[in-house]
Amino acid sequence: MSARTPPAARTVALTVLTLCAFAANSVLCRLALRTEAIDPLSFTVLRLGSGALVLLPLLRGRSGQPRSPWSPGAALALLVYAIGFSLAYVWLTVGTGSLLLFGSVQVTMIGAGLRAGERPTPLRALGLLAAVVGVVVLVAPGLSAPEPLGAVLMAGAGIAWGAYSLLGRGVPAPMQATARNFLLAAPFAALVLLVPGPQRTFTTDGVLLALVSGGVASALGYVIWYSALRGHSATSAAIVQLTVPVLAGMGGVVFLGERPTTRLFAAGALTLGGVLVAVLARRRPTR
């Protein structure tokens, strides 16, 4: 039995809640790593582990409701995203990191939509091009360009998140699917701690930030996102996520005292202006 597409108003409400949760994740992770309250790999393990615990009651799904199959591919995408995300924020500010992340998400999901036959109108294509140029402006070499390794890690995290979102479109039981993805990803994340590297750092503040990121912003946010995806095409799901850098950048300024650069302002204006044009443009009717 196919899942019923939620009404437009419900999709909008779920999407707004999700975007706020995504922005909160960037702020929480950057806050924990900037103050060296915890190391990035430990943050990832606690984030996925706490998310799995919060979602554990949803593992079996509701009685009489359709079941979602186990998806090792989605769990792997979640793991790769979470590791790259945490490592990248060692070098990147909240605004820069989130713009890189969701710029990569957009390219991944829109590319998949085009391959599946989604054809944007010329105006929407122009908006998408402007958004991509904004990301290119951000990462181009220069005095205020982000750290190359951090940029590469965040771009990889964005590709993985795009794949995770694509795999979540149309799942019959989004809450159960999210719970299963976290349960599969968390043990493998713990194995990452066995990899030789910098000394592990644990403080009370760092652990609390990781638990809030995993148990609230990630676990609950991803459940809402999988529900919202049922009302989005691959293209629209990619486009709306590019509003997260604005929210995250505001959070960085308010909670972390970060000063946005001229490059970030220019890249953000191009990216978000392109998103606005692409969202307002109607899609070409499919035959």
Vertex 197, ends 195 and 203: CA angle to 5°? 100
Measured distance CA(210)–CA(204) in Å, rounded: 10
pLDDT tens string, the chain, 287 residues long: the values are: 344 555 778 888 898 899 899 899 999 999 999 888 999 999 999 999 999 999 999 887 666 667 778 899 999 999 999 999 999 999 998 878 888 888 888 778 878 877 877 776 787 778 778 877 776 776 666 545 678 899 999 999 999 999 998 998 878 888 889 899 999 999 999 998 887 766 788 899 999 999 999 999 999 998 898 888 888 877 777 777 777 877 887 788 888 887 777 777 787 788 778 777 776 765 444 44
Measured distance CA(71)–CA(12) in Å, rounded: 27
Contact (CB, 8 A) for 32 and 205: yes
For residue 173, the tally of other CB atoms under 10 A from its CB is 20
Tell me the β-bridge partners of 38: 202
Report the predicted TM-score, pTM, of the whole model to 2 decimal places: 0.81
Measured distance CA(131)–CA(141) in Å, rounded: 18
At a CB cut-off of 8 Å and minimum separation 6, what does 76 contact?
185
Measured distance CA(22)–CA(2) in Å, rounded: 28
